[in-house]
Structure 1
Amino acid sequence: MKKSLMTAAASLLVVSLTACSTGKTGESSTNPAASGTPQASKAPKEMKLKIGLPGSYDVTKKEIIDGFIAKFPNIKTEIVEAPWGDFATKITTEIAGGTAPDIWFQENAVILGYGSRGVAEDLTPYIKKDLKEADYISGLYAAKASNGKVYGIPHGINPVALAYNKKMFTDAGVPLPTDNWTYQDMIDTAKKLTKDTNGDGKPDQYGFAASVGITQGWYPWARSQGGQVLDESKTKAMFTDPKSIAGIKAWADLVKTGISPDADFLKVAGGEWKAFASNKAAMFFMQYSNQALINKEFASLDYDTVMMPKGADGKRVVPIVTNSWVIFSKAKQDAKDAAWEFLKYYLSEEAQTVLAKSGASIPVQKNAITKLDANANPKNKKAFSEGIAQAGVTTDENPSWQEWRLAAQPIFVDILGQKLAPEEGMKQIQDKVQKVLDQNK
């Protein structure tokens, strides 16, 4: 989810949204047990719950929050709203002081860090008790740590697929992409779609727009030749694996050979998604959330998606991004119970269908996934949902993800910018990332 969705408010707004249920059941003047009269059921236990919403209702659908409040009048609910950056800053102090909301969400890697520090409640017992695993996709466990504990529940899944501009393909007489494409198929086709239309000797129409970021950029390319970024334990860097280097070389070669615009071109264009939407690039790796921007600003664009291409080893890798809900481990037990009631509602088909129809992210409840809007571009939403089912992976998130990613990112920028050879750059990244991993064991 994009932090550009932050609200403009500069301070937290705390809004009490419901009142507790007040009615009492009637009492019989006789002994119900002696007379055989069944006892009236007890009113639901009254509880309090504070929910933190970074980015406010620009990020979380108000309809879901309102639906929960309506169904659980016995839970007095407070909503704590703030712009994303403000929320992330304040929550650190609140955690230290024991005053954090009972439940809130942040980036999945941050949640894993909370788990390692004892801030996040282990949700494994709750899940085993109340959820039917078959009703959900594997993304439900995006916040599962290496110790087997689950520290968060997805706010929504934002996967990647290959987007293509139909008109550019048709005008060039080039067959459209398919789910069976490999990376090499994509590269070969991108060459055919790269053109110098004004005769100045430089491409002004590119076959592919390469991203310099992790999710749509270097991570899938590092995996494209069968390589890895971290090992399965997420404690050992794998950047100098020859297959990882080969994937990054193919990524850098997109710019080197002129198949993809460079960073300066993309900066002027407004980013790879705008270069794609303005007919300057025929393909790019598209996060699901990009559709909202493209459909709003380029409503007439005729485009669609297929699943991420298969790698040289025949395997597909579909990077997913998720923010995850976390229950504060220091909250009172009643508040934890109320927070779990909220998460059960959030994971219900009713709430997940609201998420599906929003177009902001993919739900994790299987029936809700069938409610994705197939009438809005890209119409082939299965490129995302089936991509997750087949090969959805996080970008090797672990408790130190933010730290090691930031250590690696500037070097990847230099590699794509042709300032550093892939072999040398990957060696530097290996050293920096392994140092971070070792410090966080």
Structure 2
Amino acid sequence: MIKTSKRARKWVLTGLTLSLLIPTLAACSTSKGKDADVKRTLRIGTMYGTKQDDSWFRQQFTDIFEITHDSNIEIEIVPAIDYSEQQFEDQSKQQEQPDPLEKVKAIMTGTNPVDVMIFDLGMLGQLVNENLLKQLDPLLKEDKIDVNDFVPTVIEGIKDQGNNFIYGLTPTFTPAALFYNKTLFTKQGVEFPKDGMSWDDVFNLAKRMKSGSGKDSVFGFTFNQWGAGDNFWDVQNFAAPLQLKMFDAKGETMTVNTPQWEAVWKSVTDLYKDHVTPHQEDMQAMYEEPAKDSIRNPFQGQLFLNNKVAMTIGNYDMINQIQQLNDNADKLKINKLDWDVVTVPFHPGHEGIGGNIYLNNLAGINANAANPDDAWEFVKFMNGKEWAKLKSRSTYEMSARKEFVKVREGMSYNLNAFMTMKPAPLLQSSAAEQKLYREKPNLDKVTELGSRAYSDVIQGKKSVKEALAQWETKGNDLLQKIKANPKGPIDGIFDDVYGGGGGISIDKQAVMEAAGEG
């Protein structure tokens, strides 16, 4: 879900922008092979929304298309999951969350299917496996649209989910890179990071960059710009390219007590134990540090921005914060950040694959579309040069077209670091895994068991090997309970396993929103 405030911040289209763009886009005003006097409806499906208010979506995607194209095309927005309907559910009962795939399939099939579907990368592979999308490669070839004009990581990420074919396109994407503090590296006499480093290379650099103690501590690395080194979600994100499985294909037997899992957990927890990554008390000390001359530092809780961390993984929009900080450094009475970026590290054997790359707002044509011609005209326009030029003004996402990807004015950094690495394979990426989780939604509880086992390692209660063995044992017990009750409540499981302890939060959405991604 995208918060309304962020939507407004990112995508407000002013009257001036429209007036400037309309003459440029007017050449696209007709759909080929269509009678200009015939009224047509183009139905566009969205993952989420409300039938009562689709103004945000229209503002982002369809307003300019309607102005610049055939006036006989009427656009209808159809949300697969309607937020407003949840307001009228019986709140006294536990509500089962809707299955996104089933909801999307419902509006893509039947007597009045949508013509275009807007979705994220996590849905692309599922729709392809269900044969619900029209392959775009022939249409791109026919209209002489060169996919080499798009950023490689975007096309490769799309092809990976489409069996090496293109079934959707997006005008923007959210990449990540390894940000590093040049001042700290120079002071420590350590060479700067470079593109194409492995995780071992980065962790070794991080250990060399750890210095000081207490309030004078400088840490070598964090997995994100916000948190300490004890977040289980960071472990999952770090391990994503390896595609390690928690259980077998039937969801009946755990598969975590292995040397591969042990190596992943040990790599991350050793950084924490050696204080190469910060602890919660380090973060708390930053928040409690008194303001200088009563001047509030809005970046106080972010160690990297305060010259306390040598390297961190950050999304593209982190540049906004760096720019704000440096523009106001004198007012805040802090040093400006001297920084640059390199590619996200890779795991040996998985060169060229990184995590933290988000392809949202993909547009595809429904294989069952009643109006495929107008559907292609819309998808083509949404991913065309004129639209890309407009979207390139965003400071939160990058244009998917290479010619509009530029270094910010007045800044200098390694732009290619954001465009090189392929997205990591998605968790639950195969059709079989997706089907298994739909049939057994309680499988999500296995991850919570892992979070609590990981917490035991962080707190020094167990070794990595002991924690994984316990996760395996208790997980197998849970999987048998899930087999007997795939969707219903399984009471007392965490009390039985870990005495009701809290564990470490693995709320992905909370982490992403805190990092500005959600």
The 5-angstrom pairing of residues 381-420 of structure 1 reads 381-388=415-422, 392-398=423-429, 400=433, 407-408=446-447, 411-412=450-451, 414-415=453-454, 418-419=458-459
Asked if 1:130 corresponds to 2:146, the answer is no
Question: Which has the larger displacement, 206-215 or 423-432?
Answer: 423-432
- Aligned twin of 1:274: 302
In the TM superposition, 1:157-306 aligns within 5 A as 157-197=173-213, 200=214, 204-211=217-224, 217-221=235-239, 223=241, 227-229=242-244, 242-263=259-280, 265-266=282-283, 274-296=302-324, 299=327, 300-306=336-342
- Give the direction of change, closer, same or farther, for the CA distance of 1:409–1:281 in structure 2 (3 Å limit): farther
Describe the shift of the 1:313–1:101 C-alpha distance in structure 2 as closer, same or farther (beyond 3 A): closer
* Cα 1:166–1:351 shift into 2, 3 Å: same
The reply on whether 1:351 has 2:369 as its aligned counterpart is no
Shift of 1:291: 3.0
How much does 1:253 deviate?
A: 1.3
Secondary structure of the 2:458 match is coil
Q: How many residues align?
A: 395
**CA spacing shift, 1:208–1:148, aligned 2, 3 Å:** closer
Q: Contact (CA 8 Å) 2:179, 2:339: kept in 1 or not?
A: yes
From 53, 69, 76, the counterpart of 2:74? 76
Contact persistence 1:162–1:284 (CA under 8 A)? yes
Distance 1:292 1:366, change over 3 A: same
1:138 to 1:435, Cα distance in 2 relative to 1, 3 A: farther
Q: Does the C-alpha gap of structure 1 residues 244 and 160 become closer, same or farther in structure 2, counting only changes over 3 Å?
A: farther
Residue type of the alignment partner of 1:190: A
* Structural mapping, 1:305-316, within 5 Å: 305-313=341-349, 315-316=351-352
TM-score normalised to structure 2 length: 0.59
Mapped partners of 1:54, 1:412: distance in 2: 29
3-state DSSP of counterpart to 1:386: coil
In structure 1, what is the Cα distance between the partners aligned to 2:445 and 2:127? 19
What TM-score results when the alignment is normalised by the length of structure 1? 0.68
User: Secondary structure, in 3 states, of the residue corresponding to 2:400?
Assistant: coil
Deviation per CA, 1:180-236, whole angstroms, max 9, x where unpaired? 533333223222322335xx5x8732111135668865333465xxx44259x9999
Q: What is the CA distance between 1:163 and its match in structure 2?
A: 0.8
Instruction: Name the stretch that deviates more: 319-328 or 343-352.
Output: 319-328
Of 461, 464, 488, 1:422 maps to: 464
1:304, distance to aligned residue in structure 2 (A): 1.6
Per-residue CA deviation, residues 54-84 of structure 1 (Å, 9 max, x unaligned), is: 6899997957644423332342235679999
User: How far does residue 102 in structure 1 lie from its aligned partner after superposition?
Assistant: 4.8
- Whether the 8 Å contact between 1:228 and 1:239 is mirrored in structure 2 is no
In structure 2, the residue matched to 1:140 is 155
Say whether the 8 Å CA contact 1:194–1:259 is kept in structure 2.
yes
Paired residues of 2:116 and 2:366 also in contact (CA < 8 A): no
In 1: Cα distance, 2:300 partner to 2:428 partner: 24
Which residue pairs with 2:292 in the alignment? none
- Alignment deviations for residues 20-77 of structure 1 (CA, whole Å, 9 cap, x no partner): x9xxxxxxxxxxxxxxxxxx99538643234448689999795764442333234223
1: CA distance, partners of 2:119 / 2:395: 19
Relative distance call for 1:41 and 1:128 in structure 2 (3 A) is closer
For the aligned residues, what is the CA RMSD? 5.1
Matched residue SS, 2:266: helix
Cα 1:329/1:360, change in 2 over 3 Å: same
Write the distance in 1 (CA, Å) between the matches of 2:414 and 2:239: 23
User: Is 2:360 the counterpart of 1:323?
Assistant: yes
> In structure 1, the residue corresponding to 2:359 is in which secondary structure?
strand
Task: State the one-letter code of the partner of 2:450.
Answer: I
**Which structure 1 residue ranges, 5 or more long, are not aligned?**
9-16, 22-39
Instruction: Render the CA deviation track for 1:309-338: whole Å, top value 9, x for unaligned.
Output: 34345834312222243558497512x443
Alignment deviations for residues 324-361 of structure 1 (CA, whole Å, 9 cap, x no partner): 43558497512x44333221112223323433341333
- Is 1:273–1:284's contact at 8 Å kept on the other side of the alignment? no
Q: CA, structure 1 residues 291+359, in 2 after alignment: closer, same or farther (shift >3 Å)?
A: same
Partners of 1:295 and 1:405 in 2: how far apart?
39
Q: Percent identity?
A: 19
Task: Note closer, same or farther for the CA distance 1:259–1:291 as it changes in structure 2 (3 Å cut).
Answer: same
Matched residue SS, 2:303: helix
Distance 1:195 1:274, change over 3 A: same
Letter paired with 1:184: D
